[in-house]
Structure 1
C-alpha cells in the first residue's frame, strides 16, 4: 500500500522496508558484508533527508516573497527543525556519533566499504587532471586506508564532498603539479613520484593539508614508503 496526498502516491513504511531488505539481499549476494551494506543504505537515507533539509531551508530564506503569517512560520520552522533532527539521528545510526573512537581511544580502522567509497570519490577527480597511469601503485587500498585512518566514521561519511571542495579550491595548482610530475611528464615515473600516478594522490594531498601529523602516523603504521609522501610534497610545493 502507498500513502496518498493530493493525488500523489508515495511508498508506505512497509514498502520502504521491503525495498531496503531487497537491497540488502542483493548486496549480500554480491559479497558485501551485512554491516557495510546497512551503513551504505543508512548514508543514502541520511543524505536524502539532509539534502531535503538544505533545499527547504534555502526556499524559506528566498528574498522578495511575502512570508506566511507568524503562526504558520513558526509551524514551518518546527517541521524543518524536526526534519534536520531526523537526518541527524539517521546519520548517527549509520556511522555513530561524532568523535566515535575505538576501545583504546584510537580511531577505528577503515572498513572495506569506506575504502571503496573513497576510491569511487577520488578516481574521477584524478582523471579530471591527468590520464590513468599503468604505474598506479598496487597498494591503493593501503594508501586509502591510511588516509581514512585520520578521520572518524562520521568524517569519512562526508569525505567525498571534502575531496571535491579541495580539488575545486586548488584546481590550478593541481593542474600544474600533474603536468609537471604526473603521467605524461618528463619526470621519472618510478620511485618517489610514484604516488603521482595514483588517484590516491589527491586524497593524500587533502590529508597533508588538513591533518599532516595524523596522516604520517597512519602512514608509518601500515609501513608505506616515506619517499612517496616526500615526493608528493615536493611536487605540490614546486615553484610555478
Structure 2
C-alpha cells in the first residue's frame, strides 16, 4: 500500500479530535471567548455534523443498487435504518449536552436565563436577514440586547439552538410581507426612527416579528417582564398586521 492509499484510508482518531478541540478552546480563550461559551458553540457544531450525517445516510436508503436483487436491497435498507437511528440518537444526545452543559445547566426543554453565546448567535442570525430587507440603522445597540433577551426568553435552550434556522424559514415564508413592512416603516421610509415604529429600524425586528407570529403570548409576557416600551411592540404589531 502506498502513502496515498494510507492517507485515504486513515481515520481521524479520538486523541487527534480531542487535541483539535483543546487547541481551538485555547485559541478562543486567548481571543477573549469564555470557555463555557466556546464549548457550547463547538458542541452545537458537533451536534450539527451528526444531524447532517443522519440526513445524508437517510437519503441513501433509497439508492440501493437495483441489480443486486430484492434481498440485497432489503438488507441495505435495514442496515441504513439501523445506522440512521443510531446517528439520530447521537445527534440528540450531543445537542442536549451542548445546550445544558453551561454554568446554569437546565432542562433543554425548559426556559432559562439567556447565555452570552445564545445572544451572540441570535445577533449573527438576525443581521443578514435584516439587511436583506432594510439598510443599517443607528438605533442604540443596547436596545438590541434588551429586545433579544426578551425574545430568547420565550424559548427553551433547545429551541434557541435551532432559532437561526427558524428565523431563516420565517423570512423565506413571509418574504413579500417583510419587504412591504420595511419599505413602509423601516429605514428610508417616511417613518422617523424615534417613535412607536422604532424597532422596524433595528435588526431585532426580524426576531420580534417571528415571535409575534409564532408565540405572541409568551413574547408579551417577557416584554412586560423586561419593562420594554409597550409602544414598540404595538408598532411592530400594527406594521405586521397592515397588509395593505
Note whether the superposition's TM-score is higher than 0.5.
yes
Residue 230 in 1 paired to residue 234 in 2? yes
Structure 1 residue runs of 5 or longer lacking an equivalent are 102-106
Q: How does 1:104-183 map to 2 (within 5 A)?
A: 107-135=111-139, 138-183=142-187
Distance 2:134 2:11 in 1: 44
Q: After TM superposition, give the deviation of residue 10 of structure 1 in Å.
A: 3.3
Residue 204 of structure 1: aligned partner: 208
Q: What aligned pairs does 1:80-99 form with structure 2 within 5 A after superposition?
A: 80-96=84-100, 99=108
Residue 188 of structure 1 is matched in structure 2 by 192
In the alignment, structure 1 residue 58 sits paired with structure 2 residue 82: no
TM-score normalized with structure 1 length: 0.89
User: Structure 2: which 5+ runs fail to align?
Assistant: 101-105
- Within 1, Cα distance between the matches of 2:50 and 2:153? 27
Q: Could you say what secondary structure the match of 2:10 adopts?
A: strand
Q: Which moved more, 1:6-15 or 1:42-51?
A: 6-15
Report the number of matched residues. 232
Contact residue 137 and residue 194 of structure 1 kept, 8 A: no
Distance 1:65 1:71 in 2: 12
Measured after TM superposition, the shift of residue 7 of structure 1 is: 3.0
Give the whole-Å Cα distance in 1 for the aligned partners of 2:187 and 2:11. 49
Q: Which TM-score applies when normalising by structure 2?
A: 0.88
Work out the CA distance in 1 between the residues paired with 2:61 and 2:6.
22
* Bigger helix fraction: 2
**Do the aligned residues in 2 keep the contact of 1:163 with 1:206 (CA within 8 Å)?**
yes
